[in-house]
Amino acid sequence: MKKYLKTALILCAICGAAALLLAVVNSLTAPKIAAYEEEQKQAVLGAVSNGEAIGDFHSVSGVSNITGYYGLGKSSFILMLSTTGYGGEITLAAAYDTNGKLTAAKVLSDSETPGLGKKSEESWYMDKFLGKSSNMPTKKTELSTEDAQAISGASVTFTGISKALLAGSSYVTSVLKGGKN
């Protein structure tokens, strides 16, 4: 019996030491991770802003796919969009003019499969949505043969992104353009 108690106490001490070490590492790395994520967010916002000054962030709740938006001068908005792909949550920053036409979009974060859903991070991927509003392609059959082949194997990612971009366009034309913000 003493042997089992001794083994249990040793395992308990090892677990406690491991937990303490993990807590220390987390406290040291958490601020650096947060700073890196903010830096990445600012880079993406800069990329989709088309050189315009980015206004204050306005949080949105209760609207599917939209977490908030930034004003860009008097003529456009950047919406922060959230959707689900094959690998989980995808966060996007998308710029729209006041007519809901997509002018730029970029993936901020995702967990998609390399070589398939990760293609959404490449610049050419969002080109198929640029200039679109209510006519945003949401199915592979609405794309050219070449574009459909390029996203082959990543239908869930494509559908999630396209529906989020379409929701953003609708939000701009129905809420933001209408002055109901």
Q: Give the rounded percent of residues in the chain with a pLDDT score beyond 70.
A: 98
The reported pLDDT for the residue numbered 180 is: 45
Question: Which pLDDT score is estimated for 178?
Answer: 57
Q: What is the rounded distance in angstroms from the CA atom of residue 102 to the CA atom of residue 131?
A: 5
Answer whether residue 107 shows pLDDT above 80: yes
Please provide the average confidence, as pLDDT, over all residues in the chain: 86
**pLDDT (mean) for 172-181:** 70
Give yes or no for residue 73 having a pLDDT over 80: no
Average pLDDT over residues 138-154: 77
Paired tokens of 171: 């939000």
More confident residue, 92 or 154: 92
Query: Mean pLDDT throughout 16-31?
Result: 93
pTM: 0.79
| Rounded average pLDDT over 106-120 | 80
Percent of the chain beyond pLDDT 90? 36
Return the CA Rg of the chain: 22
Q: List the chain domain ranges.
A: 49-176
How far apart are alpha carbons 138 and 126 in whole angstroms? 13
What is the structure's pLDDT at 3? Answer: 87
